[in-house]
Structures are given as C-alpha cells and as structure tokens.
C-alpha cells in the first residue's frame, strides 16, 4: 500500500515558474511528453504562428483587391476584349429584338441588360457593306445580259465607299446623340441617358434589317424595291424610337419631337443612300475596252 505522502498532491514548481514567465503558455500532458522524472512538459506558444496566418490571409486579400482594381488601358487588346465577349445566342436574341420592335419593349433593358457588345454591330456593318457591293455588281451583270452594249467590270471600290459610310454613320451619329443627351441631362435632372457603347450597339443592330432588304433589291421591279426599302426603314427606325423614347420623354415635348425626328431623318437618308448607290452603279457602266474615243479617227489623212 502506497504511503500517504506519495498520494498527496504535489505542486510542480518548474511548470509554475514557466507559466509565471509566460502567461499565454499552454500546458500539454501525454505519455510521450513526460520526462523521466514525471514532470509535465510545458509547450510555450508565443502566438507567432497565429500572427503569421493572419498576415498571409491579409496579403492574399490585398492581392485580390489589387487584381480587381487593375484594369487594362484602352490602348491594350485586353481592354476591348470584353466588348466582344458575347455568345451566339445573345447575338441572335438581340437581332430578333431589333427586327420585332413594339411599344413598351426597350431594346437596351430587355436585350442588352447592361452588357452591350461590339461584336454584333461590327459584323452587321461589315456584312451590309459587302452585300451592297456584291448586289450592285450582280445588278450590273444582269443589266449586261439584257443590253450587250454594257461592258461589265468589277466595282471593288464600292466596298470601301460603303464600308466607310456605314461605319461613320454607326459611330458618329451615336456619338452626337450621346453627347446631346448628356448635355440635356444637366438641364433635366430626371433624364438618364444610355452609355455611348449602348447607343452604338442599338444603332448597329438596327441596321441588320437592311441586309435581307438589299438582297431582295435584286428583283428588277422598281416599286417592289421601294416597298421593301420602306418596310426595312420603318422597322429599323421604330426600333430606335422605342428605345430612345424612355430617355427623351423626360425632356420637353419640343426637344423630344425634334430629336426623334432627326434620328428618323438620318436613318431615312442612309436607306435612300443605299438604294441610290446601287442604282447609280447600274446606270454607270464601264465602256468597252475596244471602244473608240470620241473625236479620234482611225482613218489616215485624206
């Protein structure tokens, strides 16, 4: 039987001294940590590892914030890459929205959803320019079959003229419209104009209806061609008016009427220009290569 003094509680002096020196220390006890003399090993933790973890987390958070704040400059490719980040379903949905305008249906709110793109407008303008040039050359070929005196030669410069005209229209007109609405916002506080990119996107998609219309202009019936052109102009202009109306209705009636009338008039001038450019191409055939110049006689002197 053990002696009474062996069963009595013994105060471990070494552990007490260590705890007194380091109040934040933690004591651990285990069979593998017992010294041969039976003393309890004391694990001293000064809190250094916990502070290191906090520093790592803080540095990671700072790095993430810096990555979010760093935006590529406008002179880099990455800045414009986000404007072309759109899939096929979104482009088709926006094309359908431009082809089927209706009152109360806002193209920006229902189709763009704060995500305007330049992919659709860029290719719509390029396709329209090529279609204008190709159909104009086809019209000249068909005219040659009816009149053998007409000599056909490809009019490649029409692609450049059509492309420059369409791209200038899609960029300069929205720029002027956006600047005017920004100026009117300072006059009328309740007005909330669209961004410049949204305005360009609306104008670009509104031109899609002219692509099938230009192809239908190959039908050699003048009144039918003007009918197709009028329907395309009505759909395209209605898409612009219904989109701009929620913005301009907060302004005075005079300013709203003048602004919408100007938008429709410029759109009509573009449509008429597309129609007359094809007609001019048809009416200005290139003379045959073996044609004799006027005022020059091939016979010898008398």
Q: How do the domains of the chain map onto residue ranges?
A: 84-283
What residues have CB less than 8 Å from 55, skipping those under 6 apart?
A: none
Residue 213 has pLDDT above 90, yes or no: yes
Residue 33 has pLDDT above 70, yes or no: no
pLDDT digit string (tens) for 99-121? Answer: 988 887 888 888 887 788 899 99
Using alpha carbons only, give the angle 116, 119, 125 rounded to the nearest 5 degrees.
Answer: 110
Distance of CA 92 to the CA centre of its chain: 14
Please compute the mean of the pLDDT values over residues 278-291 and round it to a whole number.
Answer: 50
Dihedral pair phi/psi, residue 27, rounded to 5° = -95, 135
Per-residue tokens: 31 = 């069979």
User: With contact defined as beta carbons under 8 Å apart, do 171 and 137 qualify?
Assistant: no
pLDDT digit string (tens) for 61-81? Answer: 555 455 444 566 656 666 667
Q: How far apart are CA 247 and CA 263, in angstroms?
A: 14
Query: In sequence order, what DSSP letters do the residues of 179-205 get, joined into one string?
Result: HHHHHHHHHSTT--PPPHHHHHHHHHH
User: With contact defined as beta carbons under 8 Å apart, do 193 and 174 qualify?
Assistant: no
- Provide the pLDDT for residue 74: 58
- Provide the pLDDT for residue 188: 57
Looking at 12-16, 24-28, 35-39, 227-231, which range is the least confident one?
35-39
Distance of CA 67 to the CA centre of its chain: 23
Residue 65, burial from CB neighbour count under 10 angstroms (0-12, 13-18, 19+) = exposed
Q: How many CB atoms lie within 10 A of CB 136?
A: 24
Residue 140 has pLDDT above 80, yes or no: no
- Provide the pLDDT for residue 73: 65
Q: Tell me whether strands 26-27 and 42-43 are parallel, antiparallel or unpaired.
A: antiparallel
């Amino acid at each position: 039987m053990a002696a009474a003094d062996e069963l009595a509680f013994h105060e471990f002096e070494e552990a007490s001294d260590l705890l007194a020196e380091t109040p934040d220390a933690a004591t651990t006890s285990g069979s593998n940590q017992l010294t041969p003399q039976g003393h309890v090993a004391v694990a001293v933790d000064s809190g250094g590892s916990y502070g290191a973890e906090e520093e790592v987390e803080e540095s990671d958070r700072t790095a993430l914030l810096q990555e979010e704040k760093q935006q590529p400059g406008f002179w880099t490719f990455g800045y414009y890459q986000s404007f072309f980040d759109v899939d096929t379903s979104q482009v088709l949905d926006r094309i359908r929205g431009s082809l089927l305008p209706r009152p109360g249906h806002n193209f920006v709110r229902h189709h763009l959803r704060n995500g305007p793109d330049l992919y659709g407008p860029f290719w719509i303008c390029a396709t329209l320019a090529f279609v204008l040039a190709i159909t104009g050359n086809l019209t000249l070929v068909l005219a040659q079959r009816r009149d053998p005196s007409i000599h056909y030669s490809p009019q490649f410069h029409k692609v450049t003229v059509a492309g420059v005209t369409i791209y200038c229209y899609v960029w300069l007109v929205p720029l002027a419209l956006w600047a005017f609405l920004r100026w009117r916002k300072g006059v009328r506080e309740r007005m909330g104009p669209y961004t410049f990119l949204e305005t360009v996107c609306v104008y670009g998609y509104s031109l899609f209806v002219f692509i099938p219309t230009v192809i239908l202009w190959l039908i050699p019936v003048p009144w039918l061609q003007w009918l197709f052109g009028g329907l395309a102009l009505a759909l395209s202009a209605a898409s612009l008016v219904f989109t701009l109306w929620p913005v301009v209705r907060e302004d005075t009636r005079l300013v709203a009427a003048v602004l919408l009338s100007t938008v429709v008039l410029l759109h009509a001038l573009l449509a008429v220009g597309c129609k007359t450019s094809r007609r001019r191409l048809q009416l200005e055939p290139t003379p045959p290569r073996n044609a004799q110049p006027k005022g020059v006689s091939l016979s010898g002197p008398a």
